[in-house]
Copies of this chain bind each other. A is one copy, B any other.
Amino acid sequence: MGAISEDDLISRFFAPIAGSGALGLKDDAACLTPPPGQDLILTKDALVAGVHFFPDDPPEAIARKALRVNVSDLAAKGADPLGFLLALALPTGDEADWIERFAQGLGEDAARWGIPLLGGDTVKTPGPAMVSVTALGTAPMGRMVARTGVRAGDLIFVSGTIGDAALGLQARLAPQRFSGLPEEARAHLLARYLDPQPRLALAHALRAHASGGMDVSDGLVGDLTKMLKASGVSADIRLQDAPLSDAARHSVAMEAALFETAMTGGDDYELLVAVSPQKAAALQAAARAAGVPLTLIGEAVAGTGPPRFTGADGGQIVFARGSFSHF
């Protein structure tokens, strides 16, 4: 960091991207008047260099990812973004150039998702960089989409495509496994890992129609298992229906073991949605209007056991490892 003080850092790089409640980042705290009739939806995700991103990722991309994993949580809860706070721990010696690029990426992304910077803290660390974002959103009172709301009989949908980011991570860690993949397909997988695309466009459709939902951050298999357990139901899930991109299909065709990577790897930031059969058509229409693909992958059923996953031959698939685990 050298010569730059925390105050300089804030006034040069972060104050220009701050929202009005941030009071120019000149105070110890932000102040905002919550919109009346709304619940506050709060989420907090932390990312550590070497665990959740590569230390040499572009700083703009690190900023985007830190913000977007939180925006994804808001989307899954059917919430509208209200603002966010940032804690940034940086290794001593990090350069002003890095911070400027980080702040630039953060500011552009905050504008894109309509979520202003409200405040935060910058500290030095003798360890790896860490970014912790607390995001605030709003939803009409009592209308947050809960992880616990899934009922037996609900249809289970997932947005977009699954597994691209986990395959993208593998393509960075073990490029030789993907050497047979066309360049465009590899670029798609790498971009899906580096730059998550939160499905904020689905938030209103979810809160209008869904009985339960969560975002897929730790792998489809593990996250679905968590949501069903929290709701006290089980499910029959047809993994052959899980939506794969062309690049993911190509990868799995090259190496069958990558199917498990796709189904259990993390960083999808797609949405898992449970909806009663009566409301499914309305949800699907709203998703189409929002331009987000939704794919039916199974049904919730009564019971408290883990979901039953079946493959193309109708046989049950049991995974050795359900999801990316932080511990």
A-side residues, CB < 8 A to B, are 1, 4-7, 9, 21, 23, 26-34, 36, 38-48, 50-52, 73-74, 76-77, 79, 85-89, 118-128, 130, 132, 134, 136-137, 139, 141, 144, 146-148, 214-215, 226, 230, 325-327
Contact = CB atoms under 8 A, between A and B. Distances in A.
Number of this chain's copies in the assembly equals 2
A1 B128 CA distance: 18
Given A26-B148, A124-B51, A34 B31 contact: no
Nearest to A230: B26
Contacts of A38: 34
Q: Which of A43, A123, A327 has the most CB of B within 10 A?
A: A327
Given A5-B325, A31-B39, A85 B124 contact: no
Contacts of A44: 85-87, 119-121, 134
A300 to B, nearest CB: 17
A8 to B, nearest CB: 8
Given A34-B34, A85-B134, A74 B126 contact: no
B77 A28 contact: yes
B36 A327 contact: no
A33 B29 contact: no
Contact of A132 (B23, B46, B147, B215): B46
A102 B90 CA distance: 24
A127 B5 CA distance: 23
A6 B146 contact: no
Nearest to A118: B42
Contacts of A50: 126
A87 B46 contact: yes
